[in-house]
Structures are given as structure tokens and as C-alpha cells.
Amino acid sequence: MRKIIETVGFLIAVQGAVGFIGYFFGPSPFWFLAKHMDFYAGNEVFTNIALLVLGVAVMASGGAVDRARG
């Protein structure tokens, strides 16, 4: 279970990091999650930062789940 949670967190963090970098250096047309959602229009930077922080939090919670199960 821990590995699944950490993998999902890693994927979310990568989406946020690559989207944030791509915003400044030229985005790829298919890679970024926030770019394909219309309700984030105009707030892509903040959305990608939030995805990055959320991904790190989910990865950290994977370790907490492992410790809680003992």
C-alpha cells in the first residue's frame, strides 16, 4: 500500500513540477494536466505549484501509513 501511495504522489508531484517549468520554458501540448482543464485558465502557475505540494504531501503520507500499520 505504501508503494502505491508514494507512486501516486510522485506522479502528482511530477505533473506539478513539469507544468511549472513548462509554463516558463514552453509547454508541451500533451503533458500537463492543468493545461487541459478549462477551469484553471489563467491560474496555471498556482495550480502547478499546488499539484507539486500535494504530490509531496501524498508521498509523505505513504510513510505515515506504513508506520501506522506497524
Other C-beta atoms closer than 10 Å to the C-beta of 20 total 20
Which H/E stretch holds residue 15?
A: helix 2-25
Domain parsing of the chain, residue ranges: 2-69
pLDDT for position 21: 84
pLDDT tens digits in sequence order for the chain, 70 residues long = 889 999 999 999 998 888 888 878 876 665 666 666 777 777 878 888 999 999 999 999 987 876 777 6
pLDDT for position 10: 94
